[in-house]
Structure 1
């Protein structure tokens, strides 16, 4: 069950929505400790930079503090580990992926009254610094480096191919519910890779609370049900996907799966 409605999610700090979601996914998630640790980091940042009145210098100071002195960094070796998606592990290890590192940095930036926003760029989560409508900077939260629109175009081409169109809306600030939906997808993929199917199912249920009836998410939930030996539930989800997306290349293969799943005896869990 989604812990907040969409309006609540979009009004609270991104990191608070993430904490609530992670507590729903992992029943042992230490939400209170995470909130306390974030408060401590914010207080330390405020004390370190309290005498700096120039906001640009304050931002540079926060980048230096976060990435150099505290040692937060992108995890190059185990990028797809669930440890990089869950905030407690990110705070413990000081390693993460763009969205988890970026959410923490955004929280700190807001405490320092810096004009930082989140951007759900197609290739990854970004941070946007809005000094003015004509003076905008972009930060890659994976390493804390500023990136130009030229570099971002290169990322997009590398992700989607040489004919990818760079649309201005790709750099718009995005609402928390959209960012959290993408974050849940990352968490779910990591948990599936680690065969933590019950937690992955909770991710899928939360994603469907954000986007009810999404056929691709329901297809993925069907796969999770299948791994949990809930075969008839898997068949129902696959059938929904086939009905909604009959032209999808996966539909024909799933039709065979559905027939086989319905032939299995019903198991009560």
Structure 2
């Protein structure tokens, strides 16, 4: 694991206040593409932004700016979903999304937010269940937009999308949660953790442990208070037969969460790994 790249990522996500979401999201791909030049990807985005800026004046109303951005992004540049391979990890790598114009809601949203920001629009990400959204503040009010299509969604449409999630979680009837709870704007750290967890899920399902480790290292850096991420890194180390770091992470998990539900399983895991380490 090249420590230089992890140090760079660490420096990007060190502070909440100035966390550069776009740059950090591009940098995530360095685990899979070590030669990726993050600055050249940012330059590409700036070129797009300059093209957009040439189409507006200081007097252009916000709602018109949004229409210009929407038309530029979805119609002119042709950004949209990748229906043939929605779960390909490349759909989360921004340099790839820029090149192929295909992404998932969160990767497209990050690009839209960056371009919107460059023309003075306030676009924020919303960690809506199962489908990342964008929230745009205009004088006329708030718009919730689908990053896959640029479509503005009504309360009814959003509620329909939310209901299966509420059913699955048992949040119905007495426990019913209002829609607004799920439309809160997310901060850059929350967006980045969802971005990374998408990749974590894809690489876990495919059992691509080396790739998964690259993502997990970044989750541990991004969420320093989440001891579960340290445990998960230990489990990935174990899959890769990096026994000592695996044991160290699992011990750290138990020392901070001795009463965790899976504490017994983790203790057994450590015992197995320690007996293996003796023979290495």
Q: Secondary structure at the match of 1:107?
A: helix
Give the match's secondary structure for 1:143: coil
- The residue number in structure 1 matching 2:238 is 226
Q: Distance in 1 between matches of 2:267 and 2:59?
A: 63
Distance 1:17 1:176 in 2: 9
Q: Which residue pairs with 2:128 in the alignment? A: 121
TM-aligned CA distance change 1:211 to 1:158, over 3 Å: same
Distance 1:119 1:198, change over 3 A: same
Select between 71-80 and 237-246 the one with higher mean Cα deviation: 237-246
CA gap 1:58/1:193 in 2 versus in 1, 3 angstroms: same
Distance in 2, Cα, partners of 1:86 & 1:23? 9
Partner of 2:4: none
Listed one character per residue, the Cα deviations across residues 65-90 of structure 1 (whole Å, up to 9, x for unaligned) are 21122111122232221101111111
Task: Say whether residues 1:47 and 2:26 are aligned partners.
Answer: no
> Is 1:257 equivalent to 2:257 in the alignment?
no
Instruction: Give the 5 Å matches for 1:58-137.
Output: 58-132=65-139, 135-137=141-143
Q: Secondary structure at the match of 2:134?
A: strand
Point out the more displaced range, 100-109 or 144-153.
Answer: 144-153
Deviation at 1:130, TM superposition (A): 0.9
Q: Quick check: 1:4 aligned with 2:12?
A: yes
> 1:150 corresponds to which residue?
156
User: Could you list the runs of 5+ residues in structure 2 that have no partner in the other structure?
Assistant: 1-6
Alignment match, 1:187: 199
CA apart distance, 1:207:
1.4
Kindly state the Cα deviation for residue 115 of structure 1 after the two structures are TM-superposed: 2.4
Deviations 1:195-217 (A, max 9, x none): 54334223222211222242321
Aligned residue number for residue 228 of structure 2: 216
Q: Which moved more, 1:61-70 or 1:238-247?
A: 238-247
Quick check: 1:160 aligned with 2:166?
yes
Name the residue aligned to 1:139: 145
Does the CA contact (< 8 Å) of 1:137 and 1:146 recur in 2?
A: yes
Once the two structures are TM-superposed, the CA of residue 147 in structure 1 deviates from its matched residue by: 1.2
Q: Is the CA contact 2:238–2:246 (under 8 Å) kept in the aligned structure 1?
A: yes
Structure 1: 5+ residue runs without aligned partners?
Answer: none
Q: Following the alignment from structure 2 to structure 1, what is the Cα–Cα distance between the partners of residues 199 and 59?
A: 37
Partner residue of 1:34?
41
Q: Residue 160 of structure 2 aligns to a residue in which SS?
A: helix
Q: TM-score, normalised by structure 2?
A: 0.81
- 3-state SS, counterpart of residue 224 of structure 2: coil
> Which deviates further from its counterpart, 46-55 or 96-105?
46-55
| Cα distance change, pair 252–95 in 1 and its aligned pair in 2 (3 A) | same
Cα 1:247–1:151 change in 2 (3 A) is farther
**1:240 & 1:173 partners in 2: Cα distance?**
33
After superposition, the CA RMSD in angstroms is 2.8
Shift of 1:246: 4.1
Asked whether 1:198 is paired with 2:210, we answer yes
For residues 279 and 97 of structure 2, the distance between their equivalents in structure 1, rounded to whole angstroms, comes to 39
Q: Distance in 2 between matches of 1:214 and 1:41?
A: 37
